[in-house]
Amino acid sequence: MKKTSTRLADGRELIYYDLRDDTVRDAVDRRPLERTVTTSEVRRDPLLGDCVAIASHRQGRTYHPPADECPLCPSQGDRLSEIPDSSYDVVVFENRFPSLAGDSGRCEVVCFTSDHNASFGELTEEQAGLVLEAWTDRTSELSHLPSVEQVFCFENRGAEIGVTLGHPHGQIYAYPFTTPRTALMLRSVATHKEATGGENLFDAVLERELADERVVLEGEHWLAFVPYAAHWPYEVHLYPKRRVPDLLGLDEDARTEFPKVYLELLRRFDRIFGGGDGGENPVDEPPTPYIAAWHQAPFGTLEEFDGVSRDDFALHLELFTIRRTSGKLKYLAGSESGMNVFINDVPPERAAERLREVASS
């Protein structure tokens, strides 16, 4: 992998990640952009104890542009985009409309490929491996910023999810605090560790899932399963079998196997709702909308979680769709949105069975 860092016309950082070491990246951003001004502010809710990012400047962000005006495609002739060069493998740049900025953290965009009509699941294993290297590198770099406590790499796909740009891309949020979901996990880990005399909760979960009927896909170094108490109709958790706190901790064997396992999972997600291969949907069913989210340990001592260190956390990816069946979405209504109590219409065992049925031939 070759990494080349440059600056856009308004001062934002842009980084090329290339498969070839001899690739030259010297294109200049020719757009007449002024310096980006953001109004991000993080406010703490005194009742719930969580934080909310207030970012009114995002109201003006780009919204569903036509394909020939996509800001994530490479620049071509007089059509100038966020990427100055005429091609790229993987590129990361600071979001022009960030939810978090300055002392409130940082937001970045990750473009998986220059092909506007592709998807992550259509990447080659080599391309997917390069994305993993980019995620890992950004986790390392962002963790050293004084305002950053946790790094979150994720992909939103599909208009149903709220995606405003159709180009295959993800994002990285660098939070100035430990997120509520991670804090809940760490508290559960601390409670379990004390109650069992030192047993790790993540290890116990993996051991249980390995022995149950919800395993979807197993490799030598990775395990994918539908969790016992899945919140979403189709939800898969992907863990490295050797517990590590973050992407930086993955060894070479796990990195090598990841693209094959992850690409297969994404392709199964596309097949469960159609595609003309015997799925439960018609051929013209749009691609499955999903969120793919990496969960990494916060950076710090974790003093507020008694007896827990970063090494007690387990890196994992959670992949889920808001579609519950053909043409129907799972909405977060009163119980979910009002009380954070999920009601799942699809038994996790059936979801796992379905995801096994649509395996590649």
Enzyme catalytic residues: 169
CA separation, residue 37 to residues 29, 96, 102, 290 (Å): 18, 9, 11, 31
Residues in the chain: 361
CA separation, residue 309 to residues 36, 258, 300, 304 (Å): 38, 26, 9, 10
Query: Cα(310)–Cα(317) distance, rounded to whole angstroms?
Result: 17
- Tokens for 148, please give them: 């950053």
Query: Cα(74)–Cα(81) distance, rounded to whole angstroms?
Result: 6
Query: Cα(217)–Cα(319) distance, rounded to whole angstroms?
Result: 13
Give alpha helix (H) positions in the chain: 125-143, 180-195, 201-210, 252-271, 339, 348-357
Query: Cα(184)–Cα(178) distance, rounded to whole angstroms?
Result: 10
Among 304, 238, 298, 310, smallest CA distance to 269 is for 238
